[in-house]
Structures are given as C-alpha cells and as structure tokens.
C-alpha cells in the first residue's frame, strides 16, 4: 500500500448532482425545483419555524409567567461545604478568590452562605450574603463574616 494508490471503498463516494446542465442530465429544465412558486425562485429562504402556513409552534403555545429583570441569583455554599474546604486546604480565609480558584463559583457569580451543617473551625468568610443562621454559627465557631460591597 502506497499513498498514491489509496482510494475510497467501492460505492462509498457518489458523484455530485450537476443541476441545470441541460435536459440530457435529467436535471435540466426546472433544475429539480418543480414548477413556479416561491421555492422555485432564486433568493428564496424559508423563515425559521415556518410550518407551511400552519400556525407555528411559537404562536400556538401561550405566553406564561413573568421574568423579573431585577432578580439577583446567588451561588449557594453551606457551612458543611466551608468545613470541608477549610479541612482539605488548611485555610482559615475563605474569600471569593479562594472559591474561584477551586472551581466552586465562576467570576460573575454572587455567593451566599447558608446554615446547613456544622462548622468547627474558625474561618474568615467573605461572600455577598449570609443567612442569619450561617452568620451566627460562623461567629460562634470563632470566625468572622465579611460582606463584599
């Protein structure tokens, strides 16, 4: 086997259709487009979601609900998560850069600490928001909470 002898398997490659090259080709005349109508014309493009005149899906399905443009969504971290992090990395300072560096949040996420689980180590936590129970338990364990402005 040599590079100049390589060719595709028999029957795997078909020759392209030469449309509009005379009646002898079998694809002359209307060039496989049928007779008249928008689809036979050059420049025709069907609208996205067009269903042949039937009422399209995006108009059949009713609008529903309300999207609040002012809603703030938080990435949630619980106390048991903070406990694992402080034990695993021997860190007493858990701030946004720490969370970002360990893949817990992304750059634009806002972080809220919630009070699920227990916290035994005293850590200084920096986040955008804290639940009352989380704040109380962090301070009870000897740590501190700092809000990001």
Averages of pLDDT over each 10 residues, the chain, 149 residues:
95 94 93 93 92 94 93 95 92 93 93 94 94 94 91
Are the beta carbons of 112 and 142 closer than 8 angstroms?
Answer: no
What is the reported pLDDT for 1?
87
Map residue 135 onto helix, strand or coil. helix
Are the beta carbons of 112 and 82 closer than 8 angstroms?
Answer: no
Q: Which domains does the chain have, with CATH numbers?
A: 74-147 (3.100.10.10)
What is the reported pLDDT for 72?
94
Closest C-alpha among 98, 101, 135, 95 to residue 119:
135
pTM of the entire structure?
0.59
Q: What are phi and psi of 78, to 5 degrees?
A: -100, 170
What is the reported pLDDT for 14?
94
What is the reported pLDDT for 149?
73
Beta-ladder partners of 112: 76, 129
**How far apart are the C-alpha atoms of 138 and 130, rounded to whole Å?**
10
């Amino acid at each position: 086997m040599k590079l100049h002898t390589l060719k595709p398997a028999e029957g795997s490659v078909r020759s392209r259709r030469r449309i509009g090259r005379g009646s002898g080709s079998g694809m002359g005349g209307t060039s496989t487009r049928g007779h008249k109508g928008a689809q036979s014309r050059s420049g025709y493009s069907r609208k996205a979601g067009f269903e042949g005149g039937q009422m399209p899906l995006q108009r059949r399905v009713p609008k529903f609900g309300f999207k609040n443009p002012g809603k703030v969504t938080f990435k949630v971290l619980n106390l048991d998560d903070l406990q694992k992090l402080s034990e695993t990395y021997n860190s007493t300072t858990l701030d946004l850069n720490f969370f970002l560096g360990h893949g817990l949040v992304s750059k634009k996420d806002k972080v809220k600490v919630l009070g699920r689980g227990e916290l035994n180590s005293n850590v200084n936590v920096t986040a955008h928001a804290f639940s009352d129970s989380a704040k109380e338990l962090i301070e009870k364990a000897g740590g501190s909470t700092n809000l990001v402005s």
